[in-house]
């Protein structure tokens, strides 16, 4: 039996995202496609969407979705990895109060420029930056624009340590954010803890650990479960063969659509999810087809 869909995995700390994929792959028939929907740092825990079977083709449609984290900012010490696993690079006095931290957070909400940490999976010349950094190579990293939707100071957990809720879009490095907040406060700092509490439609209260997965077929979520932000486009049953052949879809095959011309939409043949399509002024064009014959 072919399995297709998503798993809402609760990744433990100390495991890479790729390690999690490998563990799940061992539970599936040989040759099954498995991937993850957005890297989570090895030291971090939390929600990691896993794509199984044909759901791996939907990766590009789920990575832009909103994410939520709870992270701890530790002031007074910076590290080369910007988290607690790294080597200390500086130590300095902290003069920031709770009110100072709250004020500093406001300056990082919205569209901001962020420089990713050198110890990251970003690639230069086909090789991950962390590999170059481990060899002591100087790596120049360009700042890029990311979006922070909200930052909320939850509590002070200890002297010079603060628990922060982060709501953001794709491509945000929480380690870099913590480093930069500390810089705004005029002291070194790093991320001492990170938990991803949501990724798109997946939330931590519904996530399962590797030991809890059990029957993978029962753990799989439907392939369209993370795509609710896209409008829907429904076709008549007679359009199934055209979808399987990747043919253009005329307006006469569309029985319902809340997508405007130019928008990407979830595609259904009757009630069966068939993939993703571009809505045209007249009809639609398939861009990712998930139906199978038989």
At 84-106, the pLDDT tens digits run 999 999 999 999 999 999 999 99
> Is the pTM value of this prediction over 0.75?
yes
Q: Which of 19, 41, 160, 258 is catalytic?
A: 41
Q: Which residue has the higher pLDDT, 2 or 153?
A: 153
pLDDT at 182: 98
pLDDT at 121: 65
Per-residue pLDDT averaged across 245-253, rounded? 93
Instruction: Provide, rounded to the nearest whole percent, the portion of the chain with pLDDT above 70.
Output: 93
Mean pLDDT is lowest, of 99-103, 106-110, 118-122, 197-201, for 118-122
pLDDT at 260: 95
Judged against a pLDDT cut of 90, whether residue 45 lies above it is answered with: yes
Q: Over the stretch 119-142, which tens digit does the pLDDT of each residue have? A: 666 666 666 666 666 776 677 788
pLDDT at 134: 73
Per-residue pLDDT averaged across 211-239, rounded? 88
Domains of the chain, start order: 5-63+201-219 (3.30.2350.10), 67-199 (3.30.2350.10), 232-289 (2.30.130.10)
- Per-position DSSP letters for the chain, written without gaps between them: ----EEEEEEEPTT--HHHHHHHHHTTS-TT--EEESS---TT-EEEEEEEEGGGGGGHHHHTTS-EEEEEEEEESEEETTSBTTS-EEEE------HHHHHHHHHTTSEEEEEPPPSSSS-EETTEEHHHHHHTT-------EEEEEEEEEEEEEEETTEEEEEEEE-TT--HHHHHHHHHHHTTS-EEEEEEEEEEETTEEGGG-B-GGG--SHHHHPBPTTTT-TTS-EEEE-GGGHHHHHTT--B-GGGEEEE-PPTT-EEEEEETTEEEEEEEE-SSSEEEEEE-----
- Read off the pLDDT band of 37 (50, 70, 90): confident
pLDDT at 2: 77
pLDDT at 156: 98
Q: Which residue has the higher pLDDT, 111 or 293?
A: 111
Q: Which residue has the higher pLDDT, 3 or 197?
A: 197
pLDDT at 39: 84
Asked if residue 273 lies in contact with residue 227, where contact means CB atoms within 8 angstroms, the answer is no
Q: What angle do CA 176, 181, 187 make, to 5 degrees?
A: 110
pLDDT at 123: 66
pLDDT at 124: 67
pLDDT at 170: 86
Catalytic (active site) residue 41: yes
Write down the residue that tokens 């910076």 correspond to. Answer: 78
Q: Which residue has the higher pLDDT, 245 or 1?
A: 245
């Amino acid at each position: 039996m072919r399995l297709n869909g998503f798993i809402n995995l609760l990744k433990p700390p100390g495991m890479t995202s790729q390690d999690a994929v490998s563990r799940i792959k061992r539970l599936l028939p040989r040759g099954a496609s498995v991937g993850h929907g957005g890297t989570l740092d090895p030291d971090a825990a939390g929600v990691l969407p896993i794509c199984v079977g044909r759901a791996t083709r939907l990766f590009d449609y789920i990575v832009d979705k909103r994410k939520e984290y709870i992270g701890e900012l530790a002031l007074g010490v910076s590290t080369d990895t910007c988290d607690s696993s790294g080597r200390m690079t500086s130590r300095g006095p902290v003069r920031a109060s709770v009110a100072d931290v709250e004020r500093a957070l406001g300056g990082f909400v919205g569209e901001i420029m962020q420089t990713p940490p050198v110890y990251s999976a970003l690639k230069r010349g086909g090789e991950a930056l962390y590999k170059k950094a481990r060899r002591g190579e100087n790596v120049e990293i360009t700042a890029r624009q990311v979006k922070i939707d909200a930052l909320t100071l939850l509590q002070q957990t200890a002297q010079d340590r603060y628990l922060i809720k982060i709501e953001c879009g794709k491509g945000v490095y929480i380690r870099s954010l913590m480093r930069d907040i500390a810089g705004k406060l005029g002291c070194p700092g790093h991320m001492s803890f990170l938990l991803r509490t949501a990724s798109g439609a997946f939330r931590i209260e519904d996530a399962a650990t590797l030991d809890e997965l059990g029957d993978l077929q029962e753990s799989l979520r439907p392939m369209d479960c993370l795509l609710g932000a896209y409008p829907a486009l429904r076709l008549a049953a007679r359009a199934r063969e055209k979808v399987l052949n990747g043919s253009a879809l005329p307006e006469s095959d569309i029985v319902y659509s809340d997508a405007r011309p130019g928008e990407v939409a979830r595609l259904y043949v009757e009630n069966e999810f068939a993939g993703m399509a571009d809505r045209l002024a007249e009809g639609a064009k398939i861009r990712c087809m998930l139906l199978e014959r038989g």
